[in-house]
Chain A
Amino acid sequence: MAIRAEAPGADRTETVSVGSAQARPRRLSRALRQEVRLAYVLLTPTLLVILFLVAYPFWSAVYLSLQNKMVGAPGRFIGLANYLELFRDEVFLRTAWNSVVYTVVAVALKFVLGLTMALILDQERRYNNFFRTLLFVPWAVPIVIVSLNWRWIFDDLSGFLNNFLITFHLSSNIISWLSDPALAMGCVIAVVVWAGTPLYSMTFLAGLQAIPKELYEAAEIDGASVIQQFFYVTVPRLRTIFLTTVMLSTIWTATNLQFVLILTRGGPASRTEIFPHLAYMTALGARRLGMGAAVSLVFFPVLVVLIVILTRRMLRPTDE
């Protein structure tokens, strides 16, 4: 359902036209030339966007990362010096570990919660559409606002969480959620999960609803338990959607710096520092553009793998 729906069977026109092209070569070749010209005219704006706003900046990032460029000053080519400096830096190594924990835990939690939510919403119930709408609300809230709102909830002195715990005598002292080294990462991840779960539930729910009910009926007649039905009917049917969603979400989760920027700024003592935020601080805080580019590129190889697999999936005419 996911990718399949919109990537229809490739070019039905092709066979017809190629056949007639052989019959009347001269006239058609002119028509074909015109078609090629028209195609490139129509694609010009899109190609300009791809080339000048993505391809060129990307290569210039690679080139920048090999320079000691500062904001407002010309850079000098220094080879891999930026990268070598990074791998000797303790903050960088901590950041690498944090980024892995942050991404893996957040994606795993979003997956589990999202699937649970989807399964619940797939049950028969009155007002289900209404509940679904409510549960998907976080998806529509801008991430900056999500983060600011949670920063307020986590506030030491008057935040909802501390006030709530103290009012109900669940805790006797104030907890510094975002500045306690042991708690900060967990809190940031909680916010990421709050904002990101609806994406998973939406796609999973769409997948669940596309499974023919007869499959479950047949499994039930064969004596499959509810759990068996889940693992032998539901999971195989959703495998493609699982993979695509997880890979897409991994890219966006790993590269989103807004949560950290607003909640903790990487603190306390780099406990919540992750790559995109470190790149941001290096490039714009410390004004070291070259080094910032190096930081943002260091984790790119991992992304490349995901991007290549996803590209193939998203262009595939039919899945399975």
Chain B
Amino acid sequence: MLSATNLSKRYNDVIALDALNLTVQPGEVFCLLGANGAGKTTTINLFLNFIEPSSGTATINGIDVTKEPLETKKYVAYIPETVMLYRNLTGLENLEYFAALAGRPDYTRAQLLEFMKRVGLPDGAADRRVGTYSKGMRQKVGIAIALAKGAKALLLDEPTSGLDPKASNEFSALLKQLSADGVAILMATHDLFRAKESGTRVGIMKHGKLVAVHGTAEFTHADLERLYLEHMHD
């Protein structure tokens, strides 16, 4: 569903991403680990076509993101560290607006409320302005948007950093549901525990290179941490 082939990004002399080859299948949760500046966010920005690759290609559902930027975005949903919403609109209005822009203007209020319920937003929150929402609630609206959009792939950029353990746990549970429904998920994260919990594979990035890829089933959490730290040593 998500595929990068020799995907590279250079800024003048700095290599942000160096010949990344990566495929995320439907139902897979691929976690990108690595220090700040390792190229995780660059990878996600390239898939979103927010930046132009220097060479190589990124495809979503087999379509090159630079050639059909609007078409490829139909299949993905993006959840950043904090999902940014319009604070003067209610949660439901935000959901309705983003769903409409994603080509689904036809949802009824009941259907939209159902999405809000599925992601675990508390009753009554849907009609409150987003300005009053906690970060965890915003992340849930982000997932609701992905559900409403019917996204087949998710691009997550440290979606759980700063969430309290309960919210973080709820978020992971939602990801598991989505992956069970066949959504391909690419998540950049610092959270080794979450990566082990909800990931099916992990990839370790360093200086723009994907240096190791492992299935999470092979490891215990302690193994993963050891592996990660080994790679971080120069």
A and B: interacting chains: no
